[in-house]
Each structure stands twice: as structure tokens, then as C-alpha cells.
Amino acid sequence: MPESFVVTIEPLGRQVVCREDQPILDACLRAGVWLPHSCTHGTCATCKCDIVDGDVDHGEASTFALMEFERDEGKLLTCCATPRSDVTIEADIDVDEDIEMHSVEDFVGTLVSLDEVARDTVRLVVELDRDMAFNAGQYMKFTVPAAADGSAGSVDRTWSIASPPSQPRTLEFHVRKVPGGRGTDGWVFRTLAVGDQIPMSGPYGRFVLHTGQDNHTIMVAGGTGLAPIKSMLRHGLENGSYEGEMTLYQGGRSREWLYDVDVFRRLAAEYDQFTYRPCLSEETAEDVAASGDDPDAYAYGMVTDVLAADHASLSGCKGYLCGPPLMVEAALKTLMSKRLFPRDIYREEFFNEGDKAGGVNSPLIKR
């Protein structure tokens, strides 16, 4: 049996029991103690904390997210670090009073459907063994089986929930293929089949819709960064939980990379408060017209350029950004150039395992 230790979280003064083979973040979230986190695999550095007392194993934290001198100074990533003694950590905890955080639990999901929705992109629908409460924008952790690619041992991969909290048992996910990726290329796109049962845990993440606000919300999504945004939009519109205007900018190189366009067009037709702007960066209006599609149904150019051209100022708005790190960084700069303050911008980058060796990490906003 693995040995267990007591982790004390300051400034809360809370204590949780954590196994020596269990990440400190996991123990805290399961005990209902919220700590800042995003990627949960040692890449983004959102969960970086100070070690006040005790010893830890830093695990698979990347040297980019947690540099050697930071380890020497007594910092850790709670998503990777496991205790080697009783430990006291100090975290930068800033909990929003209008958001109810739900404890992480284990579930067994059954794959109901797997459909291609865009180039190298599939939609998974998973039925959980029981209902799960979550906030719009959160994500789940999937256990990828060892037999998927012949590798030894299972690994975890995380994907955002695209369905709204009003569907607590049937969850939707969007997954893009990563060449050579064990979770995607080696499992989802190769051996995963309808009827398969999947060990899962969640919900995770703090990139969620703040329903207590009524500002004009500007949402920018790239690739499968659309998933949490879709959950937020459906929750805000269909449940009447968000009173302000909502505008979605969805970016793709061409129409074959975009998906759920019809879904958002129907929402825009049904709800006056919602505006939808699908943007094509490499396909022109002439290309669209030549195919028989309506060229006026799209905007053209980088999603950030379309956003900038649409608004002289975004003062008083709220921003939600999700997708590849470079896109999120560009959108962040665009929103700030339009007088949107960092405190009013929420974002989540989609990292993969290849980003552990180095990636994009902006000091402008705490995630």
C-alpha cells in the first residue's frame, strides 16, 4: 500500500491526505479544496506554488514550466508533484464567489458515438455511469489504455466538455488528431470504438462562464478550443443564465477545418443576443462562391484581424479565448489593444505532450 502524507494548504489552513503516488492537485480537488490549475500535465505552470515545508517529488513537470532554479527556490507544480513527507504549500488562491466549484470524482464512461466533424477532428459522445455536476467550460481526464499502442502502462489525456451542464450524464467532446499522439493518433483515431468503456475523472478547470455578469462577451475559438466555448454558449443562451450580448469568432484555415457552423447559425437566428462570425484565414470569398456556398456567410482573414476590424473599442466587455497557444496569445493582444483589461479576459490554451519541452507562456495574465 502506498504511504500517505498530510498536505497543508496555506493561506486556507486546510489539510488533505495525499498518497505518495498521487499528485497534490488531485488530492486537493477530490477533497473539495480548489487550487489554481489548467493543463494538469506539467506544461502551463498555472498551478505553480511555494513549498513552505516538507519534501516532494516533482514528477514529470517540464523544465519550461518549472525551471531548475525555481525548484531550488522551493516551488512546485501541484499537478505533477507528489509528497515524500508531510508538506505545507502556499498557493495563490482567488476563488470567484459566483462560481460553485465541484469536487473531482471518478466515473466510467461508455462511448455512444464517434463521428468525424472536420478535418482530423472527431466528436465523441460519452454516457457516464451517473450524473456529474460541472461548470460550462470545464474538462475531463480520460485514461488511455496501455493496449492502444502497445506501450507499457496507461496514460491520462484531457479534453474539454462541449455539452452544457443541463446534460449531466451525456457529455460531448471534440478531439483533434495529433500526429504520433498516444491519446489521439494511437487511440481515439485508431482503436476506440462505440461501446467501449472509458475510466474518466472530473470535472477540472476554472475556464468557465461567469454567469453573474451581463457584459458583452467576446469569445474567440480556434480548432477544438471551440469545445468549452460551445458549452458556455449553450449554457448562457439556452438556459437563460447569461443576460448580456455574446459574440463568437471561430477561426479556421478553410471550411474543412470548421465544424458546428450550422449549430451556431441556428443559435444566432434564435437568440438576438448572439452573433456568430466564422472566419477563414486561407480560403477566399471567391473560393467559397465557386463551391456554391454563400461568401457573405463568412469573414476572411485571421480571426484576430476580423475581430479588430469589427470593433473600435471593447471597453466594458469580457473576453473568453481558447485554442492553440499562439492563437490565444494573438487574440489576447488584440483584445488588450481594444481597451479590454487583462482582468476581464479569461483564457485557456490547448497544450499537448509535445509542449512539455517548451511552449508559449505569457506573464500578462494569471490563468
Average pLDDT for consecutive 10-residue bins of the chain (367 residues)? 94 94 95 88 89 94 90 94 96 76 95 97 98 97 78 84 97 96 93 97 93 92 97 94 95 97 97 97 96 96 96 96 94 96 90 53 33
Chain CA centroid to CA 277, Å: 21
What's the confidence (pLDDT) of residue 3? 95
- pTM (2 d.p.): 0.88
d(CA 316, CA 300): 26
- Integer-rounded Cα Rg, in Å, for the chain is 21
CATH class (in words) of the domain with range 217-357: alpha beta
Residue whose grid cell is 494548504: 9
Q: Which of these, 61, 148, 153, lies nearest to 355 by C-alpha position?
A: 61
Torsion sign over Cα 286, 287, 288, 293:
positive
| DSSP secondary structure of 165-199 | TT-SSEEEEEEE--TT-TTIIIIITTT--TT-EEE
d(CA 112, CA 114): 7
Continuous H helices in 215-302: 226-238, 261-270, 285-290
d(CA 193, CA 339): 47
Equal fold, 105-204 vs 217-357: no
d(CA 20, CA 194): 36
The greatest distance separating any two alpha carbons of the chain, rounded to the nearest whole angstrom, comes to 67
d(CA 110, CA 139): 17
Residue 235: all three cell numbers together: 449554457
Strands (E), 58-205: 75-77, 82-83, 87-90, 105-118, 121-128, 139-144, 155-160, 170-176, 197-204
Residue 57: all three cell numbers together: 517529488
Helix (H) or strand (E) holding 217: strand 217-222
Torsion sign over Cα 154, 224, 328, 132:
negative
- Residue 14: Cβ-neighbour burial (10 angstroms; 0-12, 13-18, 19+): middle
Residue 6: all three cell numbers together: 498530510
**339 and 314 in contact (C-beta within 8 Å)?**
yes
What's the confidence (pLDDT) of residue 97? 67
**60 and 79 in contact (C-beta within 8 Å)?**
no
d(CA 206, CA 40): 12
Full strand arrangement of the beta sheet holding 299-300? 299-300, 274-280, 246-252, 217-222, 318-323, 345-349
Q: Which CATH architecture has domain 105-204?
A: Beta Barrel (2.40)
Q: Which residues contact 127 (CB under 8 A, 6 or more apart)?
A: 109, 110, 112, 169, 170
What's the confidence (pLDDT) of residue 353? 58
Q: Which fold has domain 4-90?
A: Ubiquitin-like (UB roll) (3.10.20)
Within a 10 A sphere around the Cβ of 194, how many other Cβ atoms? 12
Domain boundaries, the chain: 4-90, 105-204, 217-357
What's the confidence (pLDDT) of residue 95? 64
DSSP class of 286: H
